[in-house]
Structure 1
Amino acid sequence: MDAAISRPERVLVIGISPRKNEEVVDGLRNIGIDAVGCTAPNAAAQLYDAHDFSVIAFGRATLGPLAESLKRAFALQDPGVRFIDAFGPIAVAQVRAILQRLPGSFAFIQSPIFTSRDQGGELTADVQAACDITVTIFGQPTEQGLSEVVILDASVAVGQLTVPVADVDLVDAYSLVLAVNNEEYHHLPFL
């Protein structure tokens, strides 16, 4: 039997905030996905075995060197486990999407990159097939939640995608998200 087929459809969600981690785990469970939360990222690779999961999701607050070292440790445990850099507002959709796609599946968007400019910035990506794209910039978290500004909501053709981003949209910017056909998600955090 193929290892990818026999792998449990179970998700480990690693984050720092117990409240946000619980929200994501509960959201996944509400749509029938077996999920486990961990809010002790420094010990996650000792507490959990990658063989028990098909996907390991890293919350926004763990991204950077911590998530990269955990990915290396989990990949040593099980090279077939998949990773996703999740972002709270879309984390459940991101996990659902990766579970529905086989490793190495076709991706509509390749190489999304955000580049700062003297005035604003620019998002570029290679569009592999015509699709619908929504690009949203999320602001820094506050007690009221996250602000959102949609800077593109359009159907796009194959080729190079270039989306200018105004200075005003980058004030207190926290993360940029590309949602593609509501089935593929790209999260570009402003670290």
Structure 2
Amino acid sequence: MAFIFCCTWLIAGAAAQDGRWISPGPTLSHAQLVDQDDKARSMDDLLRDRPVLVNFFFTGCQAVCPTQTAQLALLQAEISKCRALTGSQPLLISVSLDPYGDTPASIRAYAERFGLVLGDKGNWLMLSGTHEQLSAVWRVFDQENGDPSQHASLFWIGHPASKRWTRADVTTEPSILLKLLTEANE
């Protein structure tokens, strides 16, 4: 709650988002993935008790992924302005659509190209895994078969503990995304 209060000034003038809350939202996966540092990550653990934004990307994308990544970098900067204050920090989770090309090394190189701060320190993880592991995640977030050329340009925003989710377009202003992340926690 303190996190929401402290960030009010950041989002005061933000236009209202027609983000309808979906309840209960996606049925969360038990998938085990690996992050950009080749560290095993359980989706159950990541999606447990704090606001999250989930998106889908692949490092070879030349269309929507660079826009998504830029928006998330701006959102990360907005969130970091509130970092010294109390409350659950939102977690950004980018899930690969290319299990064959998106290795931890290629994801790190992609992140370096954009100057991203990833890992627990940055509250942003870029995850990959086998086709089978990723498929379990793709299904619950309506990514069909995980075809990189067909992926949706949406952010999933929610707080899994309260089972409140919404979706936002990748061009949504970072201040509005932050507002949605804080609303998810209410």
TM-score normalised by L of structure 1: 0.27
Bigger strand share? 1
Structure with the greater relative contact order (CA < 8 A, sep ≥ 6): 1 or 2?
2
- Greater C-alpha radius of gyration: 1
Structure-2-length-normalised TM-score: 0.28
